[in-house]
Amino acid sequence: MIYLCSSSPTRAKILESFGIEFEQKSVEFDEDSIEATTPKEFVYKASLGKMKAAIAKYSLKTPLLCADTVIASSDGKILRKAKSKEEAKEILLKQSNSTISIITAMHYSRADMSLVDISATHYKFAKFDEDDLQRYLDSNLWQGKAGACMVEGFCKPYIQEVVGKQSCAMGLSVEVLLPWIDGVG
């Protein structure tokens, strides 16, 4: 049994699909307070900040798992969670007919050890259809998603090439985690 210190339904589904017993617990951490010059530095600091908050709140009596994910555009800029439909459109247009990197940092800690992983999955997208993009924006499914992107949803038909693991792109590099969890893998 572990505590997934994330409110992400996608991360919960990943753990469920791999048969990992968990309880979903959330922690408060202000990602806007992070100062970082690269996407990797940002996700590392965000995941570490969440882990520190989780340890303070829950201790390590039960193993803790925290993660954070960002999307980097082809020029290395972080594409954060959009705060409005207009911002989501702008972010998605940067990904249309381009290559992005989805970077996930994961911290797993228990009383006797800690694991830190930063993984990336790279996607090359075709040009997004304008009507399809507008329907996606109107659906509000982009809300709360790094880069307003859902590689398992809206962006899926536009994928031309993938380098990396889908689980990383969905927010949790579970294949890296499995060997470290007692009784799994």
Mean pLDDT confidence for 93-121? 95
Q: What is the pLDDT of residue 143?
A: 92
Specify if 96 maps to a domain.
yes
Joined tokens for residue 168: 């990383």
Domain span at residue 116 reads 2-180
Q: Which of 30, 32, 68, 75 is catalytic?
A: 68
Count of domains for the chain? 1
Specify if 151 maps to a domain.
yes
pLDDT tens-digit series, residues 46-67: 999 999 999 999 999 999 999 9
C-alpha 72/C-alpha 137 separation (Å) is 20
- Kindly indicate the confidence band of residue 184, based on its pLDDT and cuts at 50, 70 and 90: very low
C-alpha 6/C-alpha 11 separation (Å) is 8
Confirm whether 30 is a catalytic residue. no
C-alpha 71/C-alpha 78 separation (Å) is 6
Asked if residue 113 has pLDDT above 70, the reply is yes
Q: What is the pLDDT of residue 66?
A: 97
Domain with residue 175: its CATH number is 3.90.950.10
Specify if 49 maps to a domain.
yes
Name residue 105's amino acid.
A
- Kindly indicate the confidence band of residue 182, based on its pLDDT and cuts at 50, 70 and 90: low
Asked if residue 104 has pLDDT above 50, the reply is yes
Asked if residue 97 has pLDDT above 70, the reply is yes
Specify if 150 maps to a domain.
yes
Specify if 185 maps to a domain.
no
Specify if 44 maps to a domain.
yes
114 vs 182, more confident: 114
Asked if residue 151 has pLDDT above 90, the reply is no
Specify if 126 maps to a domain.
yes
